[in-house]
């Protein structure tokens, strides 16, 4: 089954959260140093936030353009819009 773009965005966010959780586990068991774990966790969180912001904006813009295209193809749209103002 093909996922929607928003489902993929949610999945991407969850994967990034899991990376941060795994880094914390490595830090707790002493596999990686606290300073390194903190800097990498911060980097992962910044990447997640950046990707979420950019992708959500692009998806929103894509939907907006799709709605504009749909309206411009509807010959009665302008007529209905004018009549609704009366």
The closest of 5, 16, 23 to 63, measured between CA atoms, is 5
**Cβ atoms 17, 48 nearer than 8 A:** yes
pLDDT of residue 70: 72
Higher pLDDT, 10 or 83: 10
pLDDT of residue 77: 54
Higher pLDDT, 86 or 80: 80
pLDDT of residue 17: 96
The closest of 17, 4, 2 to 51, measured between CA atoms, is 17
- pTM of the complete model: 0.68
CA atoms within 13 A on the CB side of 47: 13
pLDDT tens-digit series, residues 7-65? 999 999 999 999 999 999 999 999 999 999 999 999 999 999 999 999 999 998 988 88
């Amino acid at each position: 089954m093909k996922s929607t773009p928003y489902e993929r965005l949610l999945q991407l966010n969850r994967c990034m959260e899991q990376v941060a959780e795994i880094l914390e586990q490595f830090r707790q068991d002493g596999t990686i140093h606290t300073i390194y774990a903190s800097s990498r966790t911060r980097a992962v969180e910044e990447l997640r936030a950046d990707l979420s912001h950019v992708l959500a904006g692009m998806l929103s813009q894509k939907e907006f353009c799709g709605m504009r295209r749909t309206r411009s193809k509807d010959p009665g749209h302008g007529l209905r819009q004018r009549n609704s103002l009366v």
